[in-house]
Each structure stands twice: as structure tokens, then as C-alpha cells.
Amino acid sequence: MELGKLGVWYFTEAMRSPKAADFAQRIESLGYSALWIPETTGRNPFAHAGFLFGETHRLVIATGIANIYHRHAGMMLQSQKTLAEQSENRFLLGIGVSHAPLVSQLRGLPYERPVATMREYLDAMDASPYTSVEPSKPPQTVIAALGPKMLKLAREKTDGAHPYLTTPEHTAMAREILGPDKLLCVEQKVILETSASKARETARKALERYAILPNYRNNWKRLGFSEDEIAKNGGSDRLIDALVAWGNERTIADRIQQHQDAGATHVCIQPLKVDGRTGEVDWKVLEALAPGT
């Protein structure tokens, strides 16, 4: 798997499949090494990844993340190895425990002991049989990890971690826990906008869905943000500016470099567009930051 330093994280959920294919092709043509796709209540990420592999040539498709509560560990392993073999090792499996409201309230499933549950799940994947043609290389797995305990589990049991909605300070902490050799694939939201009011308004709208989820809130508190800063008007300016990189091209590139200097092996940028409609991509920022330019 050729996972370079810079990729794109994006909700392709709002795109019809032909548009998603065009999006992936353009991401590939700009030189980004990977496209990260989520799993919430939309497309099956494995079926979608298989479709996108047929529309691209070099692009790594990564799940950010596939919810372990949605499928048996044996099925997760089957999906991983099938896609890795069929794509000639262009698939990166990212898995996670998601969040209690999305598991217990939305799906009606018990949610408890996240780290222990993930450990048991990884053990079950390791023990699952697979009798088809193996990929030519062992496929890699990263887990959604924010806190120290989950990061230690990532170091012990997987190829690395995929932190989401964090800061360069968190990246440095994660690298220290993971050690020097593990993948550290960090998501970073970006807005190409120099007006502070416009950029922060856009960021707050994007963060609304996350601010109610306890795993993110707890991590922001570990990073030194108070409950008041998290709750205040959709997030204080200090919190918004720490989580979302906005400004001109140089300012955003500096934030990406800060993650890399702190130990990130791969940064996947998620572009947010000022006054953009759902599914509308800000190609200006993706073109400005493209590795191929």
C-alpha cells in the first residue's frame, strides 16, 4: 500500500455514485494518495470502496471509520482481505467503536467498555478463518483512537491510529504513545477563507454534529479546553481555531506541517466550503494544497 503524506477525508454520501467516481478520480489526479470515506447511516463503505477501486488506478481507499458494531469480526476480516486482494493492496481498514448515542440510541445495541470491546474484536478478527485467495501483502488496520488507552491498544494490536478532530498537540501525544513505527493518520478540517467570522461560522456548522458526542468532548477536555469553551455558542474561538485550519493557503499548509512535525505519517484533509451546499466540494483548497502541484 502506497500511503503518502497527504490524503483527503470526505463525505461522499451526498454524491450520486457517478459524481463520487469523478471526485475520486480528480483527487487521484491531484496527487493525493488516499481518499478516506466514513460510515454512519449511509452507504456501506466496503461496497462503496469496491466501486471506487474500479474507477481509480493508484488511489488508496480508507475507511474512516467502519463501525465494529455493524458487523461480525469475521465479516470485517473478509471484507478487508477481499478488497485488499481485488485492489492490489490499495485498501486501508480503519475501524472504531463509534459513539454511544450512535450505537445504543440509534441502533439499539449495548455500548460499554470501548477499549475492552475493541481488544476483543481485534482478537476475534485475528482468530477468524479466511479460505479465499490472500492479498499479496498483509492488509493494514488502523483504529480510531483519541485517548491514551485506545492509542496504547493501537500500538499493541494494529498498524496504527486514525485520530479525528484533534490538534497538533494531540498528534505529538499520540506519536509518543504509538512509538516511532506505527501509522498515525490524522484528519484535519480546512477552510480556505481569511475572514475570521466567515471561517468560524462555517467551522461551527460543521462541528455541530460532533460537539454532542462524548468521545470528542472528553478528548477536547484532555487537550485543555473547558466545558464552557465547548458549549459556548457552538465552541469558543480558541476551540474552533485549534480544531479547524482556516486562512490562506500558507496558513493551512503550516497547520498540516505542524501535524507532520509532531509525528503524523499521513494527514487527511477535509475541505469545508464557506456558504457551500451539501456535497459541494471546495476544489480551490484541494488544488492549492495538492501534492501534485
Which pLDDT belongs to residue 103? Answer: 87
pLDDT digits (tens, 9 = 90+) for 124-148: 999 999 999 999 999 999 999 999 9
Q: Helix (H, G, I), strand (E, B), or coil: what is residue 35?
A: strand
Distance CA 97, CA 64 (A): 11
Max CA distance (Å), the chain:
56
Q: What is the pLDDT of residues 107-130, one digit of tens each?
A: 888 888 999 999 999 999 999 999
Query: How many angstroms from the chain centroid is the CA of residue 268?
Result: 7
pLDDT class of 293 with cuts at 50, 70, 90: low
* Structural domains of the chain, with CATH: 6-289 (3.20.20.30)
Pairing assessment for the beta strands 266-271 and 183-192 based on DSSP bridges: parallel
pTM: 0.97
User: DSSP string of 53-116?
Assistant: HTT-SS-EEEES-EEGGGS-HHHHHHHHHHHHHHTTS-EEEEEE---HIIIIITS------HHH
Cβ proximity of 142 and 158 under 8 Å: yes
Question: In the block, which residue shows the cell 445504543?
Answer: 104
- φ, ψ of residue 156 to 5 degrees: the values are -75, -40
